[in-house]
Every structure is written in structure tokens, then in C-alpha cells.
Amino acid sequence: MAKLKVGILTSGGDCPGLNATIRGAAKGCYELFGEDKVEIIGIQNGYHGLIHNDCIKMKPSDFSGILTRGGTILGTKRTPYKMMQVIEEDKVDKVKEMKQTYKEQKLDCLLTLGGNGTHKTANLLSEEGLNVIGLPKTIDNDIWGTDVTFGFHTAVDIATDVIDRIHTTATSHSRVMVIEIMGNKAGWLTLFSGVAGGADIVLIPEIPYDIKKVVKAVEERAEAGKFFSILAVAEGAMDKDEAELKRKERMKLRAEAGYTTATNRIASQIQLATGFETRAVVPGHMLRGGSPSAYDRVLATKFGARAAELIKKGKFGYTVAQVDGKITENKLCDVAMKTKFVLPDDELVITGRNIGISFGD
């Protein structure tokens, strides 16, 4: 009898926990079907590998020793969903080629590990008739329909460590430190690490700030004898005026003013208004590096094993999720075009306000 063939790819920005999830899915398949009855095909560099038939046969030993490894053993690439159905200069019909690779590799199903863009393409392929199962990855935690994505909690731990370290130097120098945390659209990572790291001011895209209120919060701390302040600022934070603009217009205006994100501008504005020495810090991709936390290893293993169960049940067109602490799944079509934003009345926002954190609004 022909072996069951399972394709796996990781797409979009990497994060800790990708390998742990791959391992969970592979080991789950070997357990459920038998090592000699299933073959795992590793698709290299995300959808790029699926388009260009860049695939390798994996052996059970390939999944050993990768639980703790950061990044992804399969490689990853950003292939923007917007361009998937567009024929570009290379004349490649990407959707046709992906279906062709699936057929040529004789895949029975495809596991796609990724964020919102990855899920959109996964849904597209599912609508095209492929057997697809998604697995929700991103440090941004912004995939709709799941309490949490793998990679998020590790990034929260790293960002919190950054804030802790900045805290000591901020105190020694009596400085205002503006720390930029990744997250372009959603502020989950900034909110969680800001609260965990004891930030005084937390600015996220979902709550546009007023710079006067931010300055006032810093001044009030100084009046109370606290001559340092810590700001956790999401990469995608914007002020109230910018919030009125379309993203393109906002980025254009920022670029003209010499900024890519709001962080440096906020630091200059605070220094100018208060006279306090202010510094901006950008940990950037450090937040996506290294080994997954224990929490993420467990979550990734649960998610991967669930994907194997879905294959066994023949339940395709779904993405794995955790809802109210229980592992479940959502239809890809329900998840594909949505983003999970921080709501202004989120419990953690309320908690933050209740302990005096300023959200700059």
C-alpha cells in the first residue's frame, strides 16, 4: 500500500516554536499511522518551495533534537498573499504551480505553519481543492479564533527581559527609555511585555496616542520623584492624527519626516518637551530568535499532535487553535481574512489602567 504523504511548510516571519510544532506533527503522524506508513515531505522556504517544487523527503530522525531549536529547519520566506494570484514578470502562475507540486509530490495533505498571510494562502489552496491544515504561528498573537499562537509567549519573555534590563540603566541615568516592540498591526506583544516589565507607558496601534498625554505622564512621574520612565511602544503605534490616515499616507508622511516607526519621533518629542534625556531602543528581530520557552514547546507539541489527529480524521480546511485553554480547530475560511486586535476593553488594558499605566489616550 502506498504511504500516506504529508507535506509541511513554514511561511512568513519565523519564530521560536516552529520546529517544535513540526516535530509534534511528525511524531503524531508516526504514532497514529506507523513510521513505515507515512512519509513526510519538507517543503523548503514556505510557499516559494511549493511554487518551485523545492521539496525533500524527511526521515523520522530529522525530527529528533529539534524541540528546543529556534527558527525553522525548513526555511521560510515571505510570499505576500496579495501577489499569489498575480502573474508577475517571471510569468509564473503561482497558484497553478503550487497545485502542480502537490500533485507531483503525490501529497495527501499539506500542513502550513504561519501567520495571517500564510492562512490566507492556505485557505486559497483549500478552496482550490487541496487538503490543507493550518497551524497558527506568530509572535504577534494576532490570528483570529485562537487564544494564543505559538511563538508569542517566548517573544513576551524576551521582550520582558529587554524591558527589565533597560529598567536598571534607565534608573541609574534618570533617563526616559522608549523601547520599540515588534507588532505592526496588533499590540499584544507590547501590551503583555509592557505589563510584565513594569512599563509606565504602553503605546499600541489599537489605542492611538496623544503625545501631550504621553509627555504629561512622564512629567507627572518626575513630579512624584521618579526621574526615569519606561515606554513600551509597539512598532505600529500611531498618534491620533495618523490614525485618521490610510497606512500608505501615514508611512509617506513619516518617511518625509525621517522616521520609519513612531519610536524615535516619540523619544525626540519627549526630550524636547521635558528636557529629560531620552533614548530609543529597538530590540527588533532578537524578539524572534532563539529557543522556544517551555510554554511554547508545550503549545507547539499540542498543536502539532492535533494536526496529526485531523489528518487521521480526514478533517481538512481547518486550522488548529486553542480556545479557553482547550485545543480545537477553526475553519480556514473563517480565519483567513481576519485579524485579532487588542480591544480597548481587553482585560489586560483595564488592568494596566487600574495600576496607573498610561496608554497615551
Please list the active-site residues. Answer: 140
139 binds ligand F6P (CB under 6 A): yes
Q: Classify residue 274 by burial, with Cβ atoms within 10 Å: 0-12, 13-18, 19+.
A: middle
68 binds ligand F6P (CB under 6 A): no
Which of 327, 326, 293 lies closest to 307 in space, CA to CA? Answer: 327
283 binds ligand F6P (CB under 6 A): no
Measured between alpha carbons, how far is 265 from 271 in angstroms, rounded to an integer? 10
State in angstroms the smallest separation of the CB of 51 from ligand F6P.
Answer: 19
State in angstroms the smallest separation of the CB of 107 from ligand F6P.
Answer: 27
**Nearest to ligand F6P of 286, 348 (CB atom):** 286
Q: How far apart are the first and last CA of the chain?
A: 64
Q: Report the residue from 28, 46, 70, 183 that binds ligand F6P according to the rule CB under 6 A.
A: 183
The residues near 357 (Cβ < 8 Å, ≥ 6 apart) are 194, 195, 199, 200, 201, 202
Q: How many residues bind ligand F6P (CB under 6 A)?
A: 11
State in angstroms the smallest separation of the CB of 187 from ligand F6P.
Answer: 10
**Nearest to ligand F6P of 148, 217 (CB atom):** 148
Measured between alpha carbons, how far is 344 from 181 in angstroms, rounded to an integer? 19
**Nearest to ligand F6P of 13, 28 (CB atom):** 13
Which of 307, 343, 242, 231 lies closest to 31 in space, CA to CA? Answer: 307
Measured between alpha carbons, how far is 254 from 238 in angstroms, rounded to an integer? 10
108 binds ligand F6P (CB under 6 A): no
- What is the layout of strands, in order, in the sheet containing 229-234? 201-203, 229-234, 176-181, 278-281
140 binds ligand F6P (CB under 6 A): yes
State in angstroms the smallest separation of the CB of 105 from ligand F6P.
Answer: 27
Measured between alpha carbons, how far is 120 from 127 in angstroms, rounded to an integer? 11
Grid cell of 156 as nine digits: 513576551
**Nearest to ligand F6P of 115, 283 (CB atom):** 115
Interactions with ligand F6P, residue window 146-175 (CB under 6 A): none
70 binds ligand F6P (CB under 6 A): no
137 binds ligand F6P (CB under 6 A): no
State in angstroms the smallest separation of the CB of 247 from ligand F6P.
Answer: 13
Strands (E), the chain: 4-10, 38-43, 55-58, 109-114, 132-136, 176-181, 201-203, 229-234, 278-281, 318-323, 326-331
Which of 31, 25, 34, 32 lies closest to 6 in space, CA to CA? Answer: 25
Q: What angle do CA 195, 177, 291 make, to 5 degrees?
A: 55
Q: Report the residue from 184, 264, 271, 291 that binds ligand F6P according to the rule CB under 6 A.
A: 184
**Nearest to ligand F6P of 78, 165 (CB atom):** 78
Question: Stretches 27-35, 126-134, 163-171, 182-190: which one binds ligand F6P (CB under 6 A)?
Answer: 182-190
Site map (CB under 6 A) of ligand F6P, residues 6-45, x = contact: -------x--------------------------------
